[in-house]
Amino acid sequence: MLVPVVQTLARRRLIREYAWIASVIVVITVGGWFSPLSYQALGYIYLLGVLALSLHLARWPVIVGTLLSALTWNYVFVPPRMSFSAMNLDDSLLLGTYIVVALIGSQLGVLRAASQRALLLAESERLHQTLL
């Protein structure tokens, strides 16, 4: 009886994480559309958004967000606009390092969360042993 409740809560959390990713990508895209920044600078802003999300979200939503934001950046801002273009070498390197850095950031976020859980579990065990 408890398993469906846990699954429902996990599903809601996952939906909330994907909604956060989608909203951050939409905000950056709309803001970038009206800004005078170059498309390279907007690529770095997308990267900052994904790295900020990687500190708070799980691994797979961040990986999906990384790929989605990279595709959005390529489609909307990299010339020629509104197409998945064959980029020059500089843009390809920027996109490649963007994806690698975002994936590393998501992994570090997951490791940080696991470390915090381990510390919390150790503290809980210590308090449990003290009480008994």
Q: Are the CB atoms for 47 and 97 separated by under 8 Å?
A: no
In this predicted structure, what is the pLDDT of residue 130?
Answer: 77
Q: How much is the pTM?
A: 0.75
d(CA 80, CA 95): 16
DSSP codes joined into one string, 80-101: STTS-----HHHHHHHHHHHHH
- H-helix or E-strand spanning residue 122: helix 89-131
Question: pLDDT truncated to tens, each residue of the chain (132 aa)?
Answer: 556 766 787 788 888 888 989 999 999 999 988 988 888 888 889 888 888 888 888 788 888 888 898 889 888 888 887 877 766 888 788 888 888 887 888 788 778 777 777 777 777 777 777 776
Is the preceding omega at residue 4 within 30 degrees of 0, hence cis?
no
Q: Are the CB atoms for 53 and 105 separated by under 8 Å?
A: no
Which residue's entry shows tokens 């500190």?
55
C-alpha distances (whole Å) from 62 to each of 2, 43, 102, 110 are 28, 16, 8, 10
